[in-house]
């Protein structure tokens, strides 16, 4: 995309008027954050950038790496080392065979450290160290730069840390993956090793049965990390993600954060991929490359700014950008795409006898 853009239009100023919302909640947790899942906008933060032990919330990143590796129907034989990992367990036995999908279920619902190790061995081709390098690279790509993990399950270890902010980034991305989202929203599932009977496992996340709209994501507890929780809930088209670390009352803290967020956030603009915006001077139609969505937070207006390249290439591709702004803050953006210029009919008819001159199209206001 060329650097030179011109502002074409401002569209759709949306506001929510009303009484001021209550003061931000007081947390028992040492650190916490609340974000809007659609835009990633931070709504509340307390010591959110301080490095802390994450306990089993680590498993959200393990799940993300495994989901993106694919092959969830492939079978995995549980190694003796995986079956012997201490701490919370999915009660896997050495030699049992599960699909990778079932191991994800055992890890995310029952918080099985044994399942997490089996996943890392499988995805890493037998090398857990390689898997952890992949996980840390994934974290960096997400912008989680306060994160470094040395194991796939979250048991306390030197140089194994993250922050509330980084966990919100990891959770936001992980919850976009269909299988992860399905699993963490389930209150119970059945694990069935090949050739054996199944057994029911239940989710460790108590918010699923006690909070309206709760749909994930992961608990975690160790002596070093304290009681941790990554919690997602959706109401009225708005999905919020709360993270609390080292809390005396993690469910109470998450509930207070989510309640406070839902009281001040409403669904804002939601434009589908492919949405068209008028026509360029050459007749082409610029369209959104992907969905644009943003919450409306209290009385902060959300507006759409369309910026187009004044000299778009005739071959098609990116011709500008659509920006959703809350006040002066960018909350979401999408490239604007347009197809190649059509060749006039009379040129196609007479070619190659005639060669029509090609003028670079000029822009006009949408």
- Angle in degrees, 0-180, between the axes of helices 59-69 and 100-108, rounded to the nearest 10: 160
Where do runs of H (alpha helix) occur along the chain?
Answer: 59-69, 80-83, 100-108, 113-123, 128-141, 164-174, 178-184, 207-210, 250-264, 345-350
Environment class of 135 (CB within 10 Å of its CB; exposed 0-12, middle 13-18, buried 19+)? buried
Environment class of 144 (CB within 10 Å of its CB; exposed 0-12, middle 13-18, buried 19+)? buried
Catalytic residue among 39, 56, 163, 334: 56
Structure tokens at 118: 């089996």
Place of tokens 């909640």: 25
Catalytic residue among 59, 218, 227, 246: 59
Catalytic: 59? yes
Catalytic: 46? no
* Peptide bond just before 352 cis, omega within 30 deg: yes
Q: For the residues of 173-211, what is the DSSP string, one character each?
A: HHTTSHHHHHHHT-SEEEE--TTS--EEEE-S-THHHHS
Instruction: Please give the Cα distance from 162 to 155 (Å, whole number).
Output: 13
Q: For the residues of 86-110, what is the DSSP string, one character each?
A: -SS-----TT-EEEHHHHHHHHHTS
Phi, psi (deg, nearest 5) at residue 42 = -80, 125
Place of tokens 């001021």: 20
- Could you tell me what percentage of the chain is helix, strand and coil, using 3-state DSSP and rounding each to the nearest 5? 25, 30, 45
Instruction: Please give the Cα distance from 127 to 116 (Å, whole number).
Output: 13
Phi, psi (deg, nearest 5) at residue 331 = -110, -20
Catalytic: 111? yes
- Angle in degrees, 0-180, between the axes of helices 59-69 and 128-141, rounded to the nearest 10: 100
Catalytic residue among 39, 111, 232, 334: 111
Catalytic site positions: 56, 59, 111
């Amino acid at each position: 995309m060329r650097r030179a853009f011109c502002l074409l239009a401002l569209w759709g100023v949306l506001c929510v008027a009303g009484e001021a919302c209550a003061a931000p909640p007081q947390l028992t947790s040492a650190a916490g954050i609340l974000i809007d899942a659609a835009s990633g906008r931070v709504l509340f933060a307390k010591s959110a950038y301080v490095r802390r032990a994450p306990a089993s919330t680590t498993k959200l990143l393990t799940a993300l790496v495994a989901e993106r590796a694919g092959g969830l129907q492939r079978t995995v034989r549980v190694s003796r080392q995986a079956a012997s990992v201490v701490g919370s367990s999915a009660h896997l036995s050495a030699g049992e065979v599960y699909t990778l999908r079932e191991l994800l279920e055992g890890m995310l619902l029952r918080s099985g450290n044994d399942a997490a190790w089996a996943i890392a061995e499988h995805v890493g081709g037998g090398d857990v160290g390689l898997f952890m390098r992949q996980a840390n690279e994934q974290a960096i790509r997400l912008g989680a730069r306060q994160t470094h993990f040395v194991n796939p399950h979250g048991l306390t270890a030197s140089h194994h840390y993250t922050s509330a902010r980084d966990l919100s980034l990891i959770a936001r991305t992980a919850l976009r993956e269909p299988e992860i989202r399905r699993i963490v929203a389930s209150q119970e599932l059945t694990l069935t090793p090949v050739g054996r009977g199944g057994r029911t496992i239940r989710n460790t996340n108590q918010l699923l049965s006690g909070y309206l709209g709760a749909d994930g994501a992961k608990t975690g507890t160790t002596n070093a990390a304290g009681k941790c929780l990554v919690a997602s809930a959706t109401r009225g088209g708005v999905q919020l993600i709360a993270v609390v670390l080292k809390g005396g009352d993690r469910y109470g803290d998450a509930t207070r954060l989510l309640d406070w967020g839902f009281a001040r956030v409403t669904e804002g603009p939601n434009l589908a991929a492919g949405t068209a915006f008028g026509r360029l001077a050459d007749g082409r139609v610029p369209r959104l490359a992907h969905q644009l969505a943003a919450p409306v937070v209290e009385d902060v207006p959300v507006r759409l700014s369309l910026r187009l390249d004044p000299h778009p290439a005739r071959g098609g591709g990116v011709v500008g950008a659509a920006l959703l702004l809350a006040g002066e803050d960018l909350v979401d953006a999408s490239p604007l795409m347009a197809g190649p210029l059509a060749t006039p009919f009379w040129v196609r008819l007479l070619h190659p006898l005639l060669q029509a001159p090609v003028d670079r199209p000029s822009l006009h206001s949408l």
